[in-house]
Amino acid sequence: MTSLKEIGLQIFAVTAFLSLKLLLDNNMSIVGGWNEVDVLPLAKQYADPTWIPGDWYLNQPPGYRILFQTLFGKLAVVWGLLATSIIGRLLCYGLVASGLVLLGRKLGLSLLSLLLAVGLFLYVNRYQGIVAYEWLVGGLEPKSVAYGLILLAIGLMLEGRYRPMALMLGLATSFHVLVGGWAFLTVVAWLILRRRNHFRNIWSLGSILLIYLAASALAIRPVLEQLFSSTPTASLAPSYIYVFLRLPHHLNPLSWSSDWWIRPLIYLLVLGGSVAMLRRKQQFEKSVMNYATCMGLAEFTVLTLVPFVLGLAIAPIDSQGKLLQYYPFRLGDIMLPLNTCLLFACALEQTLSDRAKRVFFVVCLVLLSLVCSIQAVSFHKQLVALHEFPGAQQKVDSEWKAMCTWVRNNTPKNSVVVSPPVEFTNFTWLAERPTIAKFKLLPQTKAGILAWHKRLGDLSGEVSTWTTIKSEHLTQFQIGDVLTNGYNNLTTDQAEKLMVQYRSDYFVTRIGHQLGLPIAYQNSLYILYGKR
């Protein structure tokens, strides 16, 4: 029996490999694809309601994020947002590494082959997901915890340990209801297809369901509220706003590039080729280690694509986003590339001759050494840059930092500041003052989504802004440009009306946006106006 020490060393190695690339990558940044600038201030505000009590977004109901906000909110209050980002990422990477090591051992992968698979997953496609911009490991947020638990659940599923598997899936759902929920449904489908091999009676399945429901208890209320709460009357449905105006890159395949299908096709071909290699080896030599496990993982991967295909089918007719809002592409988008890389590495290691295998291991070692050496240089630069946090990596220049510092030190604690609808997403946590709304910071309730939509329309200064955006089918970035241009062209009268409407004493913008209002503070790039 392999010692726990060896397993621990493997988990440490995978955690270190992940950390070298991701630990200091865009912490609390508005770029990079992570959402820490969204979820960590929310967690801090939840733990300390006196931090910025007047901010509309930060005081939204926690919803399904309640477990995440409870665990990491106190850490953010005590240690700060940067430390919480780093510590939380390390915990998530350790969780993901544990799941990957469990999967690797079930597939019969050596540590070098496992690291090769992880490297292919991380470096071949920088977005990780195949088309819908889903990611598995990176920043700290609820789904990064959920995916770590799901990897453990998949490993336990392949081992036939269904009760602890159900516990992991339930906890994943409590952290992120959609990530955990889709994983649970896929596992149930996998178990049903293999029911003759795995269940002696109905009570076994019943116990799995009970454990899952108990562990996912924190997600039940948000699910019921989403499904059964009434929708406020509005010109646009919350689901339409959510899918087509805010998150089309995740949820609307009609907005994806015309060649989006190429990457999924490549992964499917590699997956099919890997499975064929393993089957051929097993058929003729009966020597593939853990063959049944490999086929089980391949079957699970295909099942994760069922919601993906259904999402593609309903996209042309779901004009209001009623079904698309539930992220049918999410799980398949990330499991296809990850499991393809794992099975590809497994096929190479299992089917090569002894001599070829030695060459394979040498090549793995050289490639991994080269990648780690290059990444170590980048890691060192990121480490040095922490001394300036927040700085260039967070897209915070010295003038913007000076502006936020002045606001924090020279305005009343709960003063509302009107700020651009798209730019300056970091304003609230840097200046520690309330603002109106940000395009990136989207509430999770129906009423909250409608209010967000109205607030952004107010900030753009044009009643017809959203109508124009809807009629022209703009992309996410084009929508941001329309909103930004609207704000930058506000007149003095419009700015004053906004300040009165939202009981604001200040209006921040770029230096080129000249208004007939008193100047409270300015520097070479930014200007803060006060009331007349």
Cα dihedral angle (515, 517, 518, 524), rounded to 10 degrees?
-20
Q: Are 185 and 209 in contact (CB under 8 A)?
A: no
Is the four-CA dihedral 134, 224, 70, 416 of positive or negative sign? positive
User: How far, CA to CA in Å, does 34 sit from each of 95, 138, 157, 387?
Assistant: 18, 7, 29, 21
SS3 297: helix
Rounded distance, CA 245 to CA 383, Å? 37
Q: Which region among 52-66, 78-92, 352-366 has the lowest average model confidence (pLDDT)?
A: 352-366
In the block, tokens 């990176």 appear at 138
Q: What is the pTM of this model?
A: 0.94
Check whether 196 has a pLDDT greater than 70: no
DSSP code at position 233: P
SS3 322: coil
Rounded distance, CA 381 to CA 375, Å? 10
Model confidence band, residue 466 (pLDDT cutoffs 50, 70, 90):
low
Model confidence band, residue 230 (pLDDT cutoffs 50, 70, 90):
confident
Residue 192 has a pLDDT of: 87
Q: Which region among 78-92, 146-160, 197-211, 337-351 has the lowest average model confidence (pLDDT)?
A: 197-211
Rounded distance, CA 467 to CA 446, Å? 20
Which of 9, 97, 62, 52 shows the shortest CA–CA distance to 222? 62
In the block, tokens 């086929």 appear at 295
Q: Where are the domains of the chain?
A: 4-374, 398-530
